[in-house]
Amino acid sequence: MARRRIIAGNWKMNMTPSEAVKLVAELKDLVKNDDVDVVYCVPAIDIVPVVEAVKGTNVNVGAENFYIEDKGAFTGEISAPMLVDAGVKYVIMGHSERRDIFGEDDILINAKVKKAFAAGLTPILCCGESLALRKAGTYKEWIERQITWDLSGVTADQVKNLVIAYEPIWAIGTGETATADQAEEVCAFIRELIAKLYDGATAEAVRIQYGGSMNASNAAELLSKPNIDGGLIGGASLKPDFGKIVNA
């Protein structure tokens, strides 16, 4: 069965609530496409107004982060039940900015994957190597280690509904993009790894995105590759260009 394409914007720490509502209105007609899952992953403070603003459209809302406990003394955090109650469907985890700037490790990310599934959220699990690992030629070993840890104890049925985003760190916020062949090589490797860790049916079902400076001019080539099922889009998700990527 063909995998449904998924294009998700990662707004990062951009857009005040009023700017967010304006952006949703600007993009509304541009992102219409019934054959693609379109997701806006937005800052916590934008979730409620954006869920309201996308009502009646083809867009779903995702969060950029959450904490693994349901409630309690965790100042500054938001929980999976809070996200679900607010109408959120997806949540990003394992993004290199959270790994590198906020020190999140694979043990926490693994707990997030399990918690998100248990709460009814779809994880968008990010992985990817640094420039040093790319140059050393050990990037596949690194990605295998990340995914194996992050999916420890996660069932095949859950992985069938997972979204994995391959985001080489050297292509994030640098303007550099992996070539379509480089991206496809790693996305195919991730699919083979899922077949090894689970089985062929699970590997066929899991959706794998490329992320890292995907934009309106390179999206069509990246998305033409057999193992790239979509994109996790940074800066270009804040512009009308996002509509071009959805329809690429």
Catalytic residues: 95, 167
User: Binder to ligand 3PY among 6, 10, 46, 119 (CB under 6 A)?
Assistant: 10
Total of chain residues touching ligand 3PY, rule CB under 6 A: 10
Q: Assess 172 for contact with ligand 3PY (CB under 6 A).
A: yes
Binding of ligand 3PY by 234 (CB under 6 A): yes
Q: Binding segment for ligand 3PY among 132-140, 145-153, 226-234, 239-247 (CB under 6 A)?
A: 226-234
In this complex, which beta carbon is closest to ligand 3PY, that of residue 93 or of residue 203? 93
**Range in contact with ligand 3PY (rule: CB under 6 A) among 59-67, 145-153, 178-186, 229-237:** 229-237
Q: Which stretch binds ligand 3PY (CB under 6 A): 43-51, 59-67, 196-204, 231-239?
A: 231-239
Judge whether 218 is annotated as a binding position.
no
| 213 marked as binding residue | yes
CB of 167 to ligand 3PY, least distance (A): 6
C-alpha–C-alpha distance, residues 30 and 50, integer Å: 16
Residue 213 within binding range of ligand 3PY, rule CB under 6 A: yes
Question: Per the annotation, does 237 bind a ligand?
Answer: no
Tell whether residue 212 is a contact of ligand 3PY (CB under 6 A).
Answer: yes
**Residue 142, annotated as binding a ligand:** no
Structure tokens at 114: 């399990």
Q: Which own/partner pairs from 237-241 qualify as long-range (CB within 8 Å, at least 24 positions apart)? A: 237/8, 237/9, 237/10, 237/11, 237/40, 238/9, 238/11, 238/14, 238/15, 238/23, 240/26, 240/27, 240/30, 241/215, 241/216
Q: In the bound complex, what is the minimum distance in angstroms from residue 155's beta carbon to ligand 3PY?
A: 26
**Nearest-CB residue for ligand 3PY:** 234
Choosing from 106, 167, 184, 229, the residue that interacts with ligand 3PY (CB under 6 A) is: 167
Q: Give the interface with ligand 3PY as residue ranges (CB under 6 A).
A: 10, 167, 172-173, 211-213, 232-234
Residues belonging to the binding site are: 10-12, 173, 213, 234-235
Residues belonging to the binding site for substrate are: 10-12, 173, 213, 234-235
